[in-house]
Amino acid sequence: MPEIDRLNGASDSIELAFMEREATPEPLMKLSIHLHAAGLSLSDTVSVLEQFGVERCRSTVHNWVQKADLQPTDGKSPNHVAVDETVIQLNDQRYWLYAAADPETNEFLHVKLYPTRTIVVTKQFLTELQEKHRVDDAVFLVDGAPWLQAALFEKNLRFQHVTHGNPNSVERVFKELKRRTNQFANHFRNATHHTAENWLQTLAFAWNQLI
């Protein structure tokens, strides 16, 4: 099918280890994941599939996104790293989404969802970031949040207090993250911590593919 062949280009970075159990053509599964992660609702994504003669329900596309388990690529060596956090509502409980980004490329480096925001939690996030990327020599850009600055100090990482952020780089990244979570899922209902975190990591992956 030549129409499906043309869909491969933008989706090569998605690996579908679970696809042998699916009847849907792999290119269409990848396209669906990309479209939903990039901003299309589940209903609209299902409508796109129908244009290719494939009928699937919204829960099926949701499951593809979850099973793909996408997240920002490891192995970056940024000179600067911006770290911020924002509130996410999961059922009736508040969670904090921590995010790290490279302000020079606007790429997300790591995102993680936590039930609280403390120095200990922030150090855990930074440790995971160090395991994924070469950031020990980077300068971290943070706001005045004491848990961020204290965690960086305790881990002996250099940081710079940025009062208003950089509207031309990382500030735009975090605004887009907050816009998307407000639009779709900053209030996750009937979702587990893992499901919400997986979706947010997929969002970060999609952002990196599109910039």
What is the tens place of the pLDDT at every residue in 75-113?
999 999 999 888 888 878 888 989 999 999 989 999 999
Provide CB contacts within 8 A for 126, sequence distance 6+: 83, 151, 152, 155, 157
Provide the domain count of the chain.
2
**107 and 170 inside one domain:** yes
153 in any annotated domain: yes
Top-ranked range on mean pLDDT: pick from 6-15, 28-37, 81-90, 183-192: 81-90
117 in any annotated domain: yes
Model pTM score: 0.75
Taking residues 9-32, what's their average pLDDT?
A: 66
Q: How far apart are CA 134 and CA 168, in angstroms?
A: 24
**93 and 146 inside one domain:** yes
Q: 7 lies in which domain range? A: 2-68
| Domain end (from 41, 68, 95) | 68
- Measured in whole angstroms, the distance separating CA 103 from the mean position of its chain's CA atoms is 16
Examine the pLDDT at 124 and tell me if it is beyond 80: yes
